[in-house]
Amino acid sequence: MTGLPLAGVTVVSCEQAVAAPFATRQLADLGARVIKVERPGSGDFARGYDETVLGMSSHFVWLNRSKESIALDLKQPPALEVMHRLIDRADVFVQNLAPGAAERLGLGADALRARDPRLITCSITGYGTSGPYRHAKAYDLLIQSETGLVSVTGSDDAPAKSGIPAADIGAGMYGFAGILSALYDRERTGEGTKLDISLFDSLIEWMGYPLYYTRYGGEAPNRTGTSHAAIAPYGTYACADGQQYVLSIQNEREWKAFCDVVLDMPELAEDSRFDTGSRRVSNRVELDTLINQQLSRITGATFAERLNSARIANARQREVADVIDHPQLTARDRWREIGTPAGPIQATLPAITVEGREPRMGPVPSLGQHTHDLLEELGYNAVGIRALERDGAF
């Protein structure tokens, strides 16, 4: 798209599920041309995760706007020839196929970069390209479990996975960042780059605080729901009318203001059970009992007013349905209409805002929607396209 930072950049992606499509959608948002290569017949298996968005998958419409879809059976030699023609015109090649599959198809990073040293390749795997787990299946929940995220999420009674695909999203964002850095590096050196991103490494990075806490503290942080292992009061509190607010007391100024302004209990600030951060953590149950007793007498609106007056960070604990009409989204006009094969839907704007330039919000493609157009662009005439179809290329 003209005027956006990545206009003129072409990305070819053999992608499926979440991680790679999330990375390439960020590139498309910023103006890159993203050509999505899918299996004939079924396509990216994320297309079939559910049917909640006008009969389409909620995952798929989230991850695949502004892309072109070409259907190719890469097990067929004619389709591989088409694939190489696509990559020969590309700046970036992304894949998150099963371990070793790209290499078996002749689409491994080393082979492609030998053919075109300016090409940037990005391989997204579950556990990386070496080590005993390199061939293991790597669904998001499995990675959350292996990296310990599940063990530190949830309540004291039971662990829980993240409610969003954290490992996939993490790997997708590191893939996106790596590709941006490689494009910048190529401008200076003229050389492409081989990038390897794994879901495991991505989530290990996000687990930094628990890992350091455990390695040097001797034990893992407790699972505390919306509370915090090292801060109190911290977490979700309910008021008399059922409204729930999340708050965090980060320092002694806030603690004194909380006692005086919010709880109307100034004497609590000097209570020997709660007069330091560590004592508040040690006596969390008693502290929360006192707080809940006070909140049972006031409404959510009053609680929020007092928290804001005391300059204490807070937030409404919202259900997902409440977020759709969040006043911050509405006031900043963060929803846009995009096209899909089933009709228009509403989609949120990308998180990166480029001043003075509207982000790209193109339609979600149907499976193979652009196959014929792309083949013609690659130089195939009608006879050649019919031959490819007859040979099972798509």
CATH code where residue 143 lies: 3.40.50.10540
Q: Which helix (H) or strand (E) holds 388?
A: helix 382-390
Please indicate, yes or no, whether residues 195 and 246 belong to a single structural domain of this protein: no
Q: How remote is the C-alpha of 375 from its chain's centroid?
A: 32
* Domain ranges, residue 375: 10-207+327-390
In a domain, 374, yes or no: yes
Residue 280 domain-assigned (yes or no): yes
Q: Examine the domain organization and report whether 148 and 297 are in the same domain.
A: no
Does 226 map to a domain? Answer: no
pLDDT tens per residue, range 57-72: 999 999 999 999 999 9
Same domain (yes/no): 158, 244: no
Instruction: Decide which of 293, 316, 339 is a domain's last residue.
Output: 316
Which residues are CB-contacts of 188 (< 8 A; sequence separation ≥ 6)? none
Tell me, yes or no, whether 166 lies in a domain. Answer: yes
Give yes or no: residues 144 and 45 share one domain: yes
Tokens 């339609």 found at: 363
| Pair 80, 116 in one domain | yes
pLDDT(19) > 60: yes
Q: What is the pLDDT of residue 154?
A: 87
Digit-coded pLDDT (tens) for 223-252: 877 777 778 899 999 999 999 999 989 899
Share of the chain above pLDDT 70, in %: 99
Residues 60 and 141 in one domain: yes
Alpha-carbon gap, residue 211 to 272, rounded angstroms: 32
Cα–Cα distance, 200 to 137 (Å, whole number) = 11
Write out the catalytic residue numbers.
228
Domain count, the chain: 2
Predicted confidence at residue 2, as pLDDT, reads: 53
The predicted structure's pLDDT at residue 226? 77
pLDDT band of 1, cuts 50, 70, 90:
very low
pLDDT digits (tens, 9 = 90+) for 287-312: 999 999 999 999 999 999 999 999 99
The answer to whether residues 135 and 193 belong to one domain is yes
pLDDT in tens, 178-224: 999 999 999 999 999 999 999 999 999 999 999 999 999 998 988 87
Q: Is residue 33 part of a domain?
A: yes
Query: 103, 69, 62: which is closest to 86 by C-alpha?
Result: 69
Residue 133 falls inside a structural domain: yes
Query: Is pLDDT above 60 for 24?
Result: yes
Q: How far is CA 205 from the centre of its chain?
A: 14
User: Is 212 among the domain residues?
Assistant: no
